[in-house]
């Protein structure tokens, strides 16, 4: 399948150049490249309500919907209670009970060169809200009688429609398609992994995005985090990047270099990028892939759930979706010699056969 994508029409006009990335975009793409967590951030850069609304929309939250506003308020109150009761944190009245909770994002974005107390408190609350919302969604997912296949179908539909919209807008996409792991593929992958539990299979639903040049990779990722999925639910430590060198990208793109001095300081892992190659891939295989906990609304599937429980847990669950992003030249190289998918499957199959035959005497990947 990977070879077929290179025959797709390439006449799209670039609609999202690197110079259009703002500071928030750059923070987000760095988070994805390095596999870090928003819990280690100390500020946002969402300076107006329009950007806040766009961010909430990636969570499938419509601020014009009264039910959605009530849900956000409930999570906010839970965060306040936790910090006050368990960490003795005190909040000023207007921050503890704001008329419009979206101002919390604005407070977290008011950086003037040093961390202010109000900004730090706002960030603290948002981190708690991020965690509580995710925890509640996991609880809802277990309680709601919704098959995983249905959730994956819904996520796939949203992503495919979004990809079609990007093409219509002129984004330089040579390909944007999804695939699902078959039951046989899941079994093989579990047997080839040391930690053979089903929860470790992140890529049951995977989307592959191919752009013309490497220069377009970061702008396309930034657009996806603006409009398709919430950047704060990109899974930490699950990014694998052997394609985009962050330091080189900053050096080669003057706009990135200009903004980089304003990026928040973070203690990142050594090196410019994550390696973490799949052990069955060829030694020259290069790709950027990351895992997103993708939000799926299930309002229409929860009629039998207790109304109070629905109020407490919300109407959104998350399913893991893998995104692979690569440029055309790299995609072509990834299909040659030892990098070919057929060679990948052969190496994986041999490991499984050896493990089943020899058990602990075999060399696990």
Q: How far is CA 13 from the centre of its chain?
A: 26
CA dihedral 129→132→138→141, nearest 10 degrees, is: -70
Residue 202 to residue 238: CA distance in whole angstroms:
9
The whole-chain average pLDDT of the chain stands at 83
Is the pLDDT reported for residue 365 higher than 80?
Answer: no
Structure tokens at 31: 């988070």
Is-contact 260 26, C-beta < 8 A? yes
Is the pLDDT reported for residue 279 higher than 80?
Answer: no
Q: Pick the residue with more confidence: 351 or 166? A: 166
- Mean pLDDT over 162-175 rounds to 90
Neighbours of 160 (CB within 10 A): 14
DSSP state letter for 132: H
Residue 104 to residue 203: CA distance in whole angstroms:
34
Residue 202's pLDDT is what? 53
Is the pLDDT reported for residue 7 higher than 50?
Answer: no
Q: Around 358, how many Cα atoms within 13 Å sit in the side-chain half-sphere? A: 11
Residue 121's pLDDT is what? 95
Q: Over the stretch 208-223, which tens digit does the pLDDT of each residue have?
A: 999 999 999 999 999 9
Model confidence band, residue 52 (pLDDT cutoffs 50, 70, 90): very high
Model confidence band, residue 363 (pLDDT cutoffs 50, 70, 90): low
Is-contact 318 141, C-beta < 8 A? yes
Starting at the edge strand found earlier in the chain, the sheet holding 316-327 runs 173-180, 205-211, 316-327, 288-297, 240-241
Structure tokens at 216: 């377009």
322 beta partners: 206, 291
C-alpha dihedral sign at 282, 288, 289, 290: positive
Residue 114 to residue 135: CA distance in whole angstroms:
32
DSSP code per residue over 308-350: HHHHHH-SEEEEEEEEEEEEHHHHHHTTSGGGSHHHHHHHHHH
Is the pLDDT reported for residue 171 higher than 90?
Answer: no
Percent of the chain with pLDDT over 90: 54
Residue 100's pLDDT is what? 96
Residue 189's pLDDT is what? 61
| Farthest-apart Cα atoms in the chain, separation | 66
Residue 365 to residue 346: CA distance in whole angstroms:
14
Is the pLDDT reported for residue 20 higher than 90?
Answer: no
Model confidence band, residue 198 (pLDDT cutoffs 50, 70, 90): very low
Q: Pick the residue with more confidence: 189 or 88? A: 88
* 4-361 CATH: 3.30.460.10
- Mean pLDDT over 34-63 rounds to 94
Residue 12's pLDDT is what? 39
Model confidence band, residue 169 (pLDDT cutoffs 50, 70, 90): confident
| Lowest-pLDDT range of 160-169, 286-295, 340-349 | 340-349
DSSP state letter for 281: S
Is the pLDDT reported for residue 195 higher than 60?
Answer: no
Structure tokens at 278: 């799949």
Q: Is 43 left (phi over 0), alpha (psi -120 to 50) or beta?
A: beta
CA distances to 156, 193, 341, 351 from 347, rounded to whole Å, are: 29, 13, 10, 6
Model confidence band, residue 9 (pLDDT cutoffs 50, 70, 90): very low
Neighbours of 72 (CB within 10 A): 20
Residue 301's pLDDT is what? 82
Residue 66 to residue 285: CA distance in whole angstroms:
48
Q: Pick the residue with more confidence: 185 or 12? A: 185
Residue 116 to residue 49: CA distance in whole angstroms:
21
DSSP code per residue over 270-308: SSSS-----TTS-TT---EEEEEEEEEE-GGG-TTS-HH
Q: Pick the residue with more confidence: 337 or 6? A: 337
């Amino acid at each position: 399948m990977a070879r077929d994508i290179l025959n797709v029409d390439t006449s799209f006009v670039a609609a999202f150049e690197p110079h259009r990335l703002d500071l928030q975009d750059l923070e987000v793409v760095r988070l994805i490249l390095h596999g870090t967590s928003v819990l280690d951030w100390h500020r946002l850069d969402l300076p107006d309500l329009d950007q806040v609304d766009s961010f909430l929309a990636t969570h499938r939250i419509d601020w014009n919907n009264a039910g959605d506003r009530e849900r956000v308020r409930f999570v906010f109150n839970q965060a306040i209670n936790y910090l006050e009761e368990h960490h003795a944190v005190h909040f000023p009245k207007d921050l503890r009970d704001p008329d419009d909770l979206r101002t919390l994002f604005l407070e977290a974005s008011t950086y003037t060169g040093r961390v202010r107390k109000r900004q730090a408190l706002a960030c603290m609350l948002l981190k708690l809200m991020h965690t509580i919302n995710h925890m509640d969604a996991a609880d809802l997912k277990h309680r709601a009688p919704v098959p995983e296949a249905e959730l994956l179908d819904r996520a796939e539909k949203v992503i495919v429609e979004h990809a079609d919209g990007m093409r219509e807008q002129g984004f330089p996409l040579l390909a944007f398609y999804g695939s699902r792991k078959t039951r046989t593929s899941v079994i093989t992958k579990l047997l080839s992994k040391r930690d053979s539990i089903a929860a470790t299979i992140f890529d049951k639903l995977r989307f592959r995005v191919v752009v013309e040049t490497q220069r377009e990779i970061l702008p396309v990722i930034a657009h996806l985090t603006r409009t398709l999925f919430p950047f704060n639910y990109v899974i930490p430590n699950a990014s694998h990047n052997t394609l985009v060198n962050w330091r080189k990208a900053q050096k080669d793109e003057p706009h990135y270099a200009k903004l980089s001095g304003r990026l928040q300081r973070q203690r990142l892992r050594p090196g410019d990028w994550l390696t973490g190659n799949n052990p069955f891939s060829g030694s020259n295989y290069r790709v950027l892939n990351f895992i997103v906990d993708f939000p799926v609304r299930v309002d229409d599937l929860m009629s039998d759930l207790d109304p109070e429980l629905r109020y407490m847990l919300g109407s959104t669950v998350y399913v893991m979706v893998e995104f692979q992003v690569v440029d055309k030249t790299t995609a072509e190289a990834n299909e040659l010699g030892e990098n070919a998918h057929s060679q990948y499957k052969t190496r994986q199959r041999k490991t499984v056969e050896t493990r089943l035959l020899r058990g602990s005497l075999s060399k696990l990947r």
